[in-house]
Structure 1
Amino acid sequence: MPAISSERSNWYLLQCKPHQDERAHLNLLQQHYAVFHPQVLSERVIRGKRQQVRESLFPGYLFIHLGGNDNWAPIRSTRGVSRFVEFNHGPATVPENVIEHLRARCFESSISRDGPPLTPGDHLQIIRGPLSSLEGVFITSQGPERVMILLQFLNRNQTICMPLRDLERQLSSFHPNI
């Protein structure tokens, strides 16, 4: 890897070994590096129960903040770290505004949504997009920001995946034949 001559510090992208993001994160922190591991809250069914779990936003990748005067050598041999992601024969830098945007997004996902969580069978109304004003029934979450709903559309029950922000709870007379 080419030497970094800049004294200015930047964020860089690290690739981790498979399923070792958390291990790499902890080991880098113990070596006093500034590391950012973007995570979001997600709802999963574990042993038959719906639970909120933290998941990596970019599985297999971490961001590390380094300057030209920092010691880069220990990073390559840190347990869990595979390599620096490189573009044009050098480590890929990530702009500060991208890191700030990711931090804000991760913070927003950690805040609980207003009202109780959606449960299968909840009635929803689409409030944005080409299907606005249609009503459907919540089926399941597809990550922190998308859901699967059942719509009665074109004389058939249709299952679609859409952004959670385009929906709102609705008392409805829609009763699909599930």
Structure 2
Amino acid sequence: MAERSWYAIQCKAKESFRAAENLQNQGFEVFHPFIEVEKIRSGKLKLIEEPLFPYYLFIYLSDATDNWHPIRSTRGVLKMLAFGSTPVKIPDSLIEELKQRILPAPENVFKAGDQVLINEGPFKGLEAIFATKKGDERVILLLNLLQKQQRIEIATRAVRPL
């Protein structure tokens, strides 16, 4: 069996998602790491997917058996990264580490009264009490501030069990 390796592909501006989809439709194995960020769209706070590496994605190919020619004419693809005419191999260990780091965190299941730690934002490092969920992406916490319990609303991903 031919040995397969990961290679990097440079994509056209803001077309990495298109390139990944088109390459997958052609039967290639593609790794396109992305993160979710909160952005204001149409006056509302929304979670938007953005590439972890803007302009780049990774493709798993065999030197011997895969047909590389369709890659360069795929919509969204600019070129394969290469030193001269030799495509750059990306170590499997690097791809595996990236996959482990970007896996979605397991859904935090809190009950009312649970102690939690805030790990993002202006209240980072403070302990609070879980009150309730507010939709899929927000939670209500009780936080002791100025000798009084204050209700704050925060992103679910910014809270972890204590």
Change (3 A) 1:66 1:125: closer
Change (3 A) 1:86 1:49: same
Give, in whole Å, the separation in 1 of the partners of 2:4 and 2:61: 5
**Aligned-pair CA distance for 1:87:** 3.3
Change (3 A) 1:105 1:82: same
Alignment partner, residue 3 of structure 1:
none
Alignment partner, residue 40 of structure 2:
45
Alignment of 1:56-135 (within 5 A): 56-69=51-64, 70-87=66-83, 89-108=85-104, 111-112=106-107
User: Secondary structure of the residue that 2:8 maps to in structure 1?
Assistant: strand
Return the letter of the residue paired with 1:173: L
Change (3 A) 1:52 1:71: same
Alignment of 1:127-146 (within 5 A): none
Give, in whole Å, the separation in 2 of the partners of 1:112 and 1:43: 18
Give, in whole Å, the separation in 2 of the partners of 1:79 and 1:113: 39
Change (3 A) 1:125 1:52: closer
Alignment of 1:27-38 (within 5 A): 27-38=22-33
User: Secondary structure of the residue that 1:108 maps to in structure 2?
Assistant: coil
**Aligned-pair CA distance for 1:10:** 0.2
**Aligned-pair CA distance for 1:88:** 5.9
Return the letter of the residue paired with 1:11: W
Give, in whole Å, the separation in 2 of the partners of 1:42 and 1:169: 24
Deviations 1:111-156 (A, max 9, x none): 45566xxxxxxxx878xxxxxxxxxxxxxxxxxxxx5538xxxxxx
Stretches of structure 2 lacking an aligned partner (at least 5 in a row): 111-116, 129-142, 147-162
TM-score scaled to structure 1, two decimals? 0.60
Stretches of structure 1 lacking an aligned partner (at least 5 in a row): 1-6, 116-123, 127-146, 151-163
The percent identity for this pair of structures is: 37
Give, in whole Å, the separation in 1 of the partners of 2:75 and 2:118: 48
Alignment partner, residue 5 of structure 2:
10
Query: Which consecutive aligned stretches of 4+ in structure 1 deviate over 4 angstroms post-superposition?
Result: 111-115
Alignment partner, residue 21 of structure 1:
16
Give, in whole Å, the separation in 2 of the partners of 1:71 and 1:30: 14
TM-score scaled to structure 2, two decimals? 0.65
**Aligned-pair CA distance for 1:51:** 1.8
Return the letter of the residue paired with 1:149: P
Structure number with the higher strand fraction is 2
Give, in whole Å, the separation in 1 of the partners of 2:95 and 2:33: 9
RMSD over aligned Cα, in angstroms? 2.8
